[in-house]
């Protein structure tokens, strides 16, 4: 039995049966006949891990599920990486990037967990939650195509025009991998909803060129959406900045020179619950007089920006900005 000491208490990390299980699991991962697919794991997370283990190593009961899950999300992962060569391949990059952030269950105003399968596709309503600090709003979006069917949002590389640097956006989550979350603070001059909000496919058209604030689109935004072949956009009516929600909130039009920071979401397929587990991209608040963004999203965890949201964060459906259009 492998243990470690934390705050004076000995904690069991790995029993011998678990160690034997991991050895067999790693052997199957390395076996070309069974073909563990890291890309599929990064995309599907623990569901792929459970299915792979069940198929190739043996039945995965609840105890074993918890153990496998701890490899990905628990403190034990850090210790096991040093003990068993090769086990680091089971830790997806986006989970590692989320280290240090709170893991927060998304709940409604009554405290009930939000269920991914119940989120409307292409909703015109502004749906927000605070993360990682209080007072920091983020959009929660279930993206679809022009016909209202959910669209899988793939992992993608996002460029920061201001610096030329890139980072990896992990993609959507949920039953159709269509659910994403982005900061609702425009990265140009900090405008917030309703002046920055999501424009569903129905509202990405010429009629919005003459719509009243905060629903007006620019010709440049419409052209950029068409060129990017995306049916919906996030647009800021303050100064015209436009973002691509299907590709990590990448910049479609200026004046912004920074993408919207993305909240990393986790979907528990057994409960249909959603969790916010971290952030990727630039920090929400740029440093210095020239506004150069930090490449470390942990900069947003500074206590001067608020306090951590904790184990739960409330999702609020605020308004339909198009109701008067």
pLDDT band at 115 (very low <50, low <70, confident <90, very high): very high
Percent of the chain with pLDDT over 70: 70
Classify burial at 123, counting beta carbons within 10 Å of its beta carbon; exposed 0-12, middle 13-18, buried 19 or more.
middle
What is the pLDDT averaged over residues 175-185? 97
pLDDT band at 119 (very low <50, low <70, confident <90, very high): very high
Burial 57-89 (b: 16+ CB within 10 A, else e): beebeeebbebbebbbbeebbebbbeebeebee
The whole domain housing 59 covers 2-91
Three-state SS for 57-114 is CCCCCHHHHHHHHHHHHCCHHHHHHHHCCCHHHHCCHHHHHCCCCCCEEEECCCCCEC
Q: What is the DSSP letter of 287?
A: B
Distance, in Å, from the CA atom of 89 to the CA atom of 68, rounded to the nearest integer, reads: 13
Clarify whether residues 132 and 76 are in a common domain. Answer: no
Whether the pLDDT of residue 65 is over 60: the answer is yes
Clarify whether residues 270 and 300 are in a common domain. Answer: yes
pTM of the model: 0.69
pLDDT given for residue 54 in this prediction: 78
Distance of CA 61 to the CA centre of its chain: 28
Question: Among the three residues 36, 63, 91, which one is the final residue of a domain in this structure?
Answer: 91
pLDDT band at 135 (very low <50, low <70, confident <90, very high): confident
Distance, in Å, from the CA atom of 258 to the CA atom of 186, rounded to the nearest integer, reads: 9
Q: Which helix (H) or strand (E) holds 232?
A: none
In a domain, 96, yes or no: no
Position with higher pLDDT, 163 vs 195: 195
**Which residue has 């992962």 as its token pair?**
77
Distance, in Å, from the CA atom of 280 to the CA atom of 278, rounded to the nearest integer, reads: 7
Classify burial at 255, counting beta carbons within 10 Å of its beta carbon; exposed 0-12, middle 13-18, buried 19 or more.
middle
What is the pLDDT averaged over residues 41-48? 63
pLDDT given for residue 94 in this prediction: 33
Clarify whether residues 298 and 217 are in a common domain. Answer: yes
Clarify whether residues 37 and 133 are in a common domain. Answer: no
Clarify whether residues 39 and 126 are in a common domain. Answer: no
- How do residues 298-318 score in pLDDT, each as one tens digit? 777 777 677 889 899 999 998
pLDDT given for residue 52 in this prediction: 78
pLDDT given for residue 66 in this prediction: 67
Q: Are strands 104-107 and 312-317 parallel, antiparallel or unpaired?
A: parallel
In a domain, 325, yes or no: no
Clarify whether residues 280 and 131 are in a common domain. Answer: yes
Position with higher pLDDT, 224 vs 84: 224
Whether the pLDDT of residue 26 is over 60: the answer is yes
Q: What is the DSSP letter of 120?
A: P
Question: Among the three residues 41, 62, 91, which one is the final residue of a domain in this structure?
Answer: 91
Percent of the chain with pLDDT over 90: 51
pLDDT given for residue 32 in this prediction: 67
Q: Which helix (H) or strand (E) holds 42?
A: helix 38-44
Clarify whether residues 149 and 246 are in a common domain. Answer: yes
Question: Among the three residues 44, 67, 91, which one is the final residue of a domain in this structure?
Answer: 91
Q: Per the structure block, which two tokens stand in for 270?
A: 């057994």
Whether the pLDDT of residue 63 is over 80: the answer is no
Burial 209-246 (b: 16+ CB within 10 A, else e): eebeebbebbeebbebbeeeebbbbbbbbbebbbbbbb
For the ranges 15-24, 195-204, 206-215, the one whose mean pLDDT is highest: 195-204
pLDDT band at 295 (very low <50, low <70, confident <90, very high): low
Residue 278 backbone dihedrals phi, psi, to 5 degrees = 170, -175
In a domain, 290, yes or no: yes
The CATH number linked to 265 is 2.102.10.10
What is the pLDDT averaged over residues 112-124? 97
Distance, in Å, from the CA atom of 90 to the CA atom of 100, rounded to the nearest integer, reads: 19
- How do residues 257-288 score in pLDDT, each as one tens digit? 999 999 999 999 999 999 999 999 887 766 54
Clarify whether residues 51 and 156 are in a common domain. Answer: no
What is the pLDDT averaged over residues 110-116? 96
Are the C-beta atoms of residues 266 and 173 closer than 8 Å to each other?
yes
Give the count of domains, the chain. 2
Are the C-beta atoms of residues 278 and 296 closer than 8 Å to each other?
no
Clarify whether residues 172 and 304 are in a common domain. Answer: yes
pLDDT band at 75 (very low <50, low <70, confident <90, very high): very low
Clarify whether residues 289 and 236 are in a common domain. Answer: yes
Q: Which helix (H) or strand (E) holds 6?
A: strand 2-6
Closest alpha carbon to 256 in 136, 149, 159: 159
């Amino acid at each position: 039995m492998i243990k470690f000491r934390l705050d004076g208490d000995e904690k069991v990390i790995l029993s011998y049966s678990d160690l034997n299980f991991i050895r067999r699991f790693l052997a199957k991962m390395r076996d070309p006949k069974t073909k563990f697919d890291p890309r599929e794991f990064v995309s599907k997370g623990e569901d792929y891990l459970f299915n792979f283990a069940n198929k190739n190593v043996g039945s995965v009961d609840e105890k074993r599920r918890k153990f496998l899950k701890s490899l990905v999300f628990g403190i034990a992962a850090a210790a096991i990486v040093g003990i068993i060569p090769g086990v680091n391949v089971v830790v997806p990059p986006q989970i590692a990037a989320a280290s240090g952030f709170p893991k927060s269950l998304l709940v409604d105003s009554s405290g009930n967990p939000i269920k991914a399968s119940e989120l409307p596709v292409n909703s015109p309503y502004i749906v927000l939650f605070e993360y990682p600090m209080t007072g920091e709003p983020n959009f929660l979006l279930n993206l679809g195509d022009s016909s209202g069917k959910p669209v899988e949002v793939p992992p993608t590389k996002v460029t920061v025009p201001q610096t030329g640097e890139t980072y990896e956006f992990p993609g959507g989550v949920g039953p159709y991998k269509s659910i994403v979350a982005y900061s609702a603070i425009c990265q140009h001059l900090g405008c917030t909803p309703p002046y920055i909000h999501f424009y569903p496919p129905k509202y990405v058209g010429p009629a919005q060129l003459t719509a009243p604030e905060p629903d007006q689109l620019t010709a440049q935004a419409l052209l950029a959406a068409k060129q990017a072949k995306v049916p919906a956009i996030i647009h800021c009516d303050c100064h015209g900045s436009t973002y691509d929600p299907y590709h990590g909130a990448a910049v479609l039009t200026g004046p912004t020179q920074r993408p919207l920071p993305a909240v990393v979401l986790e979907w528990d397929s057994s409960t249909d619950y959603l969790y916010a587990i971290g952030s990727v991209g630039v920090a929400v608040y740029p440093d210095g007089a020239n506004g150069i963004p930090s490449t470390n999203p942990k900069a947003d965890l500074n206590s001067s920006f608020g306090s951590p949201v904790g184990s739960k964060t409330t999702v609020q459906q605020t308004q339909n900005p198009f109701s008067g259009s």
